[in-house]
Chains A and B, each alone.
Chain A
Amino acid sequence: MDLQALSIKLANHDQEGMTFESIFITDDVLQVVVDQNEELPIYVTATEEQMLCITYLFDEKELKDNVTAELNASLLKLNVPVPLSAFAIIEGKYAIYGSLSVSSAFDDIAHELVTLGDNAIEALETLEDYLA
């Protein structure tokens, strides 16, 4: 499924009362807001192989002093139990992301987006103590 098709399908999709709003912020990047949580938009890009869904959590500048090493080690340990998503640092921003095959069915992609959205909120709540 390409991003255009995904965007159209998302507009008409309702998953357990949750809605999806998606807009292209460039030709290649689709921004998806799940369940009105516009503070944590999901950025979706696609190659021939995979679809990549990224949510930025916070800037490393927002961290308290001297917690970076501990946080990073904790996130590495947390990566495995967190369903479908993993933590990352992209250009100085902590992020949570999931990737799936571009040949995935729409329901799988929708499930991925909902899960990523939930994971992002839960991660922010969990990591709040690390933020200055």
Chain B
Amino acid sequence: MGILSKIFTAIRGGAREVGETIVDANALRIFEQEIADAKNALNKAKGSLTEVMAKEMQTKRKITAVENNIAEHEGFAGEALNKGDEALALEIAEKIGEFEVELAEQQAILSTFVGSVKALKQQVKQAEKSIKENQRQLVMVKTTDSVQKATMAVNDNLVNNNSTMSSAKESLDRIKKRQQDRQDQMAASQELYDQDTGADLKAKMADAGIGGSPKAKSDDILARIRAKQSS
């Protein structure tokens, strides 16, 4: 049974005690062990594979060499026959016979190596698949564990602080109030900014006769004229 269906069954049951773990620590260890075993098997299979492939290549080289020898000696035997040296030709033929025995032996060896390579490649594939599968399942187990840790921590935190989670409606009201407060603050500071830089300041400056208000100027002129008349 896959881990997803185990988790699903546990969740659907819903009869768990609070804090009871869905996936026990044993399951975690088993997955980790299986992954470690598969990795071991993978390394071994890969090691054997390179060894066997090297031997396979060696054997192929030997076969080529023996085949070359056979071809070469067949040529020699032909030459001996052409020269009418039956005895030498026979001797060469015996040598060829020896080569052929060796060839058959090497071919038998090669076929076992070819078989081993095929089997080992299969093992490597199998181990890789098994590792991937176990890792995928392990992620599910660990995530479930992670969620539980968070939930338990939150529950413990509430108990320790002797409080209960406030209702969602209360939370929402507080958040909305905070957002409103922030907007009000921003509006207030905007107002202050306007006052400091805008109309308010200009009005104050005009009152103080700063900033070249035309009214202030004509007042000044009139005052000057009056001062002249009275002197």
Give the residue name and chain of the A residue nearest to B166 (CB).
Answer: A39
Give the residue name and chain of the B residue nearest to A39 (CB).
Answer: B171
CA distance A36 to B157 in the complex (A): 19
The bracket for how many chain B residues form the interface is 20 to 34
Give the residue name and chain of the A residue nearest to B146 (CB).
Answer: A45
A14 at the interface (CB under 8 A from B): no
Q: Are the C-beta atoms of A124 and B153 separated by less than 8 Å? A: no
Q: Are the C-beta atoms of A91 and B178 separated by less than 8 Å? A: no
A78 at the interface (CB under 8 A from B): no
Which residues B158-194 have CB closer than 8 A to chain A?
A: 165-172, 174-175, 178
Given A37-B175, A37-B178, A131-B169: A49 and B153 interface contact (C-beta under 8 Å): no
A109 at the interface (CB under 8 A from B): no
CA distance A62 to B145 in the complex (A): 26
Give the residue name and chain of the A residue nearest to B155 (CB).
Answer: A91
Q: Are the C-beta atoms of A46 and B154 separated by less than 8 Å? A: no
Q: Closest Cβ of chain B: how far from A31's Cβ, in Å?
A: 8
B residues in contact with A48, CB < 8 Å: 142
Give the residue name and chain of the A residue nearest to B19 (CB).
Answer: A91
A56 at the interface (CB under 8 A from B): yes
The bracket for how many chain A residues form the interface is 20 to 34
CA distance A39 to B170 in the complex (A): 9
B residues in contact with A6, CB < 8 Å: none
Q: Closest Cβ of chain B: how far from A16's Cβ, in Å?
A: 13
Q: Are the C-beta atoms of A56 and B139 separated by less than 8 Å? A: no
CA distance A46 to B145 in the complex (A): 10
Q: Are the C-beta atoms of A52 and B143 separated by less than 8 Å? A: yes
A residues in contact with B25, CB < 8 Å: none
A74 at the interface (CB under 8 A from B): no
Q: Are the C-beta atoms of A90 and B151 separated by less than 8 Å? A: yes
B225 at the interface (CB under 8 A from A): no
| Majority secondary structure of chain B interface residues (helix, strand, loop or mixed) | helix
Question: Residue B150 contacts which of A36, A37, A40, A43 (CB distance < 8 angstroms)?
Answer: A43
Q: Are the C-beta atoms of B171 and A43 separated by less than 8 Å? A: no
Against B, the Cβ 8 Å flags (1 = close, 0 = not) of A52-63 are: 101011110010
A residues in contact with B157, CB < 8 Å: 25
Q: Closest Cβ of chain A: how far from B8's Cβ, in Å?
A: 13
Given A29-B153, A47-B139: A39 and B147 interface contact (C-beta under 8 Å): no
A70 at the interface (CB under 8 A from B): no
Q: Closest Cβ of chain B: how far from A98's Cβ, in Å?
A: 13
A2 at the interface (CB under 8 A from B): no
A residues in contact with B18, CB < 8 Å: 91
Q: Are the C-beta atoms of B166 and A54 separated by less than 8 Å? A: no
Q: Are the C-beta atoms of A124 and B142 separated by less than 8 Å? A: no
Q: Are the C-beta atoms of A58 and B146 separated by less than 8 Å? A: no
- Show 12 residue pairs from A and B whose CB-CB distance is below 8 angstroms, ordered by the A residue: A25-B154, A28-B153, A29-B153, A39-B166, A39-B171, A39-B172, A46-B146, A47-B146, A48-B142, A57-B168, A90-B151, A124-B171
Point out residues on A near B: beta carbons under 8 Å: 25-26, 28-29, 36-37, 39-40, 43, 45-50, 52, 54, 56-59, 62, 90-91, 93, 99, 121, 124-125, 128, 131
Closest 4 CB pairs of A and B: A58-B168, A39-B171, A29-B153, A45-B146
